[in-house]
Structure 1
Amino acid sequence: MEWKGRRQSDNVEDQRGASMGGRGGGFRIPIGGGGRGGGGLSIGGIVVVLIICWVTGINPLTLLSGGDTGMDTGTSTTQQAPRTPAEDEMTGFVRTVLADTEDTWNEIFQSNGARYEEPTLVLFGGQVRSACGFASSASGPFYCPGDRKVYLDTEFFKELSQRLGAGGDFAEAYVVAHEVGHHVQNLIGVLPKFNQARQSMSETEANRMSVRVELQADCFAGVWGKRTQQKGFLESGDLEEALNAAQQIGDDTLQKRSQGYVVPESFNHGTSAQRSRWFKKGFDTGDMKACDTFSGNV
């Protein structure tokens, strides 16, 4: 993917190496062990479980707070550590990809008579505090509707390449585009409806609906990929990198890798075949209207 020398987004907060002080409210996100087939999560019935993050072999459930999104009840101070050249380059890459998603979705929303509200992307290391609570690197990248921010520990890219066998800059760009896809879903009302509907669903029913939500985000990522290709920024092998990443992070593939067997009723992101198919559908059409994962079979 050709990204150097292109526009970079200003909508990035770099919290890597930051030390945060003060008294914090909110709650920690409990992460289930044993792969994606882990048990469900709950917190007193007052929050809604929204599955919107990528998986690294650990249950990726992120808890969404239904109440106050102000997480800090005291003072806080932030001190940044010096950046390495590799971190600086990664920051430039992420800023460029985010800028490209901004251009794509601004154009699409404008063509439909709407205004696109650009999200903020937060880079963090180890753990981070969001309006959805505390999250660790084990959660993987995620989108928080409460503050409309994408959260990314760039160490996940190493996991993607070294442990999951899905390296390449366009595979990494796909990660960012998928999370931005969740932001698009939030703007058009998909996430709020899912958030409300799952309160009356069983865990199995919620997982099935979550699969449809995640596959639509994959399709939206494909729409972005198509627009990027049309601008002439894709290189040979880029599409294959993204499709391979989709394959490697399918529920069935991750469960086989982590526990040796699959539990279909626990799938919440989609199988490898589904994820790659819906990304490809978005890429082939370049049309978000082709990303209706809520009608018929997926």
Structure 2
Amino acid sequence: MSALPLGPLSSLVTAALSFSLAAGAGQAGAIPLASAQPPPPPAGTSPIQGRTAATANPLYDSGRLPSVACPAGKIKAGSAASYRTFMTRVSRCLGTAWGIQFGKAGLDFTPPKLRFATSRVSSPCGKWPAGAGGYYCSSNRTVYIGLTRAALKNPYGPNHAQFMAHEYAHHVQQLAGILPYYSRAVWRARASARLALSRRLELQADCLAAAFLRGAADDLQVTPEHWEAMLEWTARNGHKSWPKNDHGRGSSQAYWMKRGFERGTPGACNTFTAPRSVVD
């Protein structure tokens, strides 16, 4: 930490706050924890159904995510246009990487839609989650990204790339059958079990996002020093925005981010069979 330049580190720490607020918004917006009835499977649902989709998914045996060229450019502080361009390019890189990965797993893949919003727009999944910088809606398979002052104020690309990759990971979970399993399991579960399931879902998204980031680290300028700083910040602060502990402790978030980045495989991100001690 002390060896990092003050300028970039200041941007990193501030941007990390935006990341932590937005990181788990996909679950909050896409899947209400209290539903009157389990939602029907959407069109194009994965052929893998039920708990097996979460615990023994073919993606887990598909090997390392490919390294992809991702010249996303840079974000200019205060520039909505540069932020939109950067996030759009990162989304395309994610589509390339996950399209290849799904092919290796023998699963169909289609990229999500991407929508930028200057206000808290509603979606088929409900209202924009309070405090979130963006979220994923499974009903229309759309990633919503807010063009907020907080996001535009901080031009540190790796943080925003991790945030984009996390929301995209919820789409990956949807196509792989993991998110539909979660939705139905949550509907049947009691409150404490719902929170535990939510933590497994969100921590997996952290891990999958980091696995992608490993393969695009050079173009996205994810240096070892800044990655370590991000992990340290997350371990200390990642849980503070989620008082119900539906996203895991900061140390758990950092654990799964580190695991995904170091191994680079979906198989390293199987939170649904992991011991409770690392998903709490």
**TM-score with structure 1 length normalisation?**
0.63
Please say if 1:293 is aligned against 2:265. no
Could you tell me whether the CA contact under 8 Å between 2:30 and 2:136 is conserved in 1? no
The amino acid of 1:195's aligned partner reads S
Where does 1:258-269 land on structure 2 (aligned, <5 Å)? 266-269=244-247
Contact persistence 1:126–1:137 (CA under 8 A): no
Q: Does structure 1 conserve the Cα–Cα contact (< 8 Å) formed by 2:29 and 2:127?
A: no
SS in structure 1 of the partner of residue 241 of structure 2:
helix
Q: Where does residue 151 of structure 2 map in the other structure?
A: 158
Return the alpha-carbon distance in structure 2 between the equivalents of residues 94 and 254 of structure 1: 23
Alignment of 1:234-245 (within 5 A): 234-236=221-223, 237-240=225-228, 242-244=230-232
Change (3 A) 1:243 1:54: farther
Does residue 276 (structure 1) correspond to residue 225 (structure 2)? The answer is no
| Counterpart Cα distance in 2 of 1:87 and 1:194 | 34
Quote the offset at 1:239 in angstroms: 2.0
* 8 Å Cα contact 1:145/1:183 also seen in 2: yes
Change (3 A) 1:91 1:140: closer
CA RMSD of superposed structures (Å): 3.1
Q: TM-score, normalised by structure 2?
A: 0.67
Higher RCO (C-alpha 8 Å, min separation 6): 2
Give % identity: 26
Greater strand fraction, Structure 1 or Structure 2: 1
The structure-2 alpha-carbon separation of the partners of 1:145 and 1:209, relative to structure 1 and needing over 3 Å to count, comes to same
CA, structure 1 residues 275+235, in 2 after alignment: closer, same or farther (shift >3 Å)? Answer: closer
Compared with structure 1, are the counterparts of its residues 125 and 137 closer, same or farther at alpha carbon in structure 2 (3 Å cutoff)? farther
Write the mapping of 1:33-112 to structure 2, written as runs, cut at 5 A: 52-53=24-25, 64=32, 66=39, 86-112=79-105
- Residue 209 of structure 1, CA deviation: 0.9
- Where is the helix percentage greater, Structure 1 or Structure 2? 2
- Which amino acid in the other structure matches residue 86 of structure 1? S
The Cα of 1:123 is off from its aligned counterpart by 0.7
Residue of structure 1 aligned with 2:125, choices 123, 129, 132: 132
Structure label with greater radius of gyration: 1
SS across alignment from 1:130? coil
* 3-state SS of paired residue (2:79): helix
Pairing 1:122-201 to 2, within 5 Å after superposition? 122-135=115-128, 138-155=131-148, 157-158=150-151, 168-201=156-189
Number of residues paired by the alignment?
214
